[in-house]
Amino acid sequence: MKIGYIRVSTEEQNIARQEVLLRELSVDEVFIDKASGKNTDRPELKRMMEYVRKGDTVIVESISRFARNTRDLLDLVEKLAVKGVEFVSKKEAIDTTTPTGKFMLTVFAAVAELEREYILQRQREGIAIAKQQGKYTGRKPLPMPDNFKSVVTLWQHGQITATEAMRWTGLKPNTFYRRAQRTLST
């Protein structure tokens, strides 16, 4: 069975290019993650790793869509190999059914990791320069929900749970607790 794996870093990014490729290759099942590739803690990747069986082939558009560092890539491919599953990356023309493919996998994984490190380094340098020039101020803060103070008061008095308070205000946990702490200390 051909198993496709697609990953983009954010919800906003488009998966169409990867979907078209996998459709052209007639994959039987596709798993899609919209999450960073910085580690292997991705729900659909985990589900795919549990799903695959001996004789299956996992196909990805490129190594960077599967793993961002050499260690993770080789670990994932090894887990697939233990299950009797092959790995194919179309962009790099890697096929682990051959010794050359296995060797090339290692080389390309190292190159992909190096490229990612260069991107992060350039990003840090660009941000540092922008900060020096006063052009980088970071992400704009979310506006304070109108009902925030009343919701925090209800939460503080135990009338609602923190989860309910977050749902009512539309804030994520870190933002909710940080703003609640500021509100309660004023």
Residue 125 corresponds to which tokens in the numbers above? Answer: 């340098």
User: CA–CA separation, 16 vs 151, rounded Å?
Assistant: 41
Would you call 9 a catalytic residue per the annotation?
Answer: yes
Q: Which alpha helices (H) appear in the chain, and where do they start and end?
A: 16-24, 43-51, 63-66, 70-82, 99-132, 148-156, 162-169, 173-185
Contacts with 61 (C-beta within 8 Å, 6 or more apart), sequence order? 6, 17, 18, 21, 22, 89, 90, 91
Catalytic residue among 9, 26, 62, 185: 9
- State the DSSP string of 116-128: HHHHHHHHHHHHH
Q: Strand, helix or coil at 97?
A: coil
User: CA–CA separation, 83 vs 57, rounded Å?
Assistant: 11
User: CA–CA separation, 119 vs 178, rounded Å?
Assistant: 31
Residues with active-site annotation: 9
